[in-house]
Chain A
Amino acid sequence: GQQVMQIPQYQHVQEGEDFTTYCNSSTTLSNIQWYKQRPGGHPVFLIQLVKSGEVKKQKRLTFQFGEAKKNSSLHITATQTTDVGTYFCAWAAGNKLTFGGGTRVLVKP
């Protein structure tokens, strides 16, 4: 069945540095969503991508959907302590949302 893999599982980042987390699928996706879950919190929707090659930006966050719609990336510039948390990619088929394993981000001040 459909598998969505996220790498890396853990990301230790120095405050002020950039990093990227990747989401890779074994098959073509109709859409990809990204959620952020703070420690002790709940998933919060960040963005949805549906078009091949689509790029969207939210302040220091840049989201990209691959040309083949099999992969997606989240790039964060100038990391801040508020970026701490787990970032999940997810894809929707009808009303069913399936999450990738997540990238847990730790920020070193």
Chain B
Amino acid sequence: DTEVTQTPKHLVMGMTNKKSLKCEQHMGHRAMYWYKQKAKKPPELMFVYSYEKLSINESVPSRFSPECPNSSLLNLHLHALQPEDSALYLCASSQVWPTLAKNIQYFGAGTRLSVL
């Protein structure tokens, strides 16, 4: 099973709402990632969790709050977002560096977020 499952697929929220994005994998991967992708642009790394601990935060605004409850789950809590935060949010997982697989990442289908 090489699947990363993300819910919801689509989300529309107002600027005062609080919502959460969810990601799940059962490949035994101990590194999980959040990316943001705007239209016609490459994915941009937001956060990396390694062994359920936050290891990289790419200077993401505090209105995005990640959480890794266990080795299979990754959440992204959203609060007071801005319209410019509208994008495709991708979750990915991989083995932890260094391994022979060297950070091959498996992506979920993403959550398409619209902030009104």
Q: List 11 A-B contacts (CB under 8 A).
A: A33-B104, A41-B109, A48-B104, A88-B42, A92-B97, A95-B31, A95-B33, A95-B96, A95-B97, A99-B42, A101-B41
Q: Which residues of A contact B90 (CB under 8 A)?
A: 42-43
Question: Which B residue's beta carbon lies closest to that of A101?
Answer: B42
Contact with B along A86-109 (1 / 0, CB 8 A): 001000101111111110100000
Decide: A43 and B107 in contact? CB cutoff 8 A: yes
User: A residues engaging B (CB < 8 A)?
Assistant: 31, 33, 41-45, 48, 50, 88, 92, 94-102, 104
Query: Which residues from B are CB-within-8-Å of A48?
Result: 102, 104
A92: contacting residue among B41, B44, B56, B103, CB under 8 A: B103
Contact residue among A43, A50, A102 (Cβ-Cβ distance under 8 Å from B102): A50
B63-116 contacts to A (CB < 8 Å): 90, 94, 96-97, 102-110
**Least CB distance, B111 to chain A, in whole angstroms:** 11
Q: B56: which of A43, A45, A88, A95 is its contact (CB, 8 Å)?
A: A95
New A-B contacts (19) at CB < 8 Å, excluding given A92-B97, A95-B103 = A33-B104, A43-B43, A43-B105, A45-B105, A50-B102, A92-B102, A92-B103, A95-B50, A95-B55, A95-B56, A96-B45, A97-B33, A97-B45, A97-B103, A97-B105, A98-B45, A99-B42, A99-B43, A104-B40
From B48, B56, B102, give the contact of A31 (CB < 8 A): B102
Are A95 and B94 in touch, CB under 8 angstroms? yes
Which residues of B are found within 8 Å of A50, using beta-carbon distances?
102
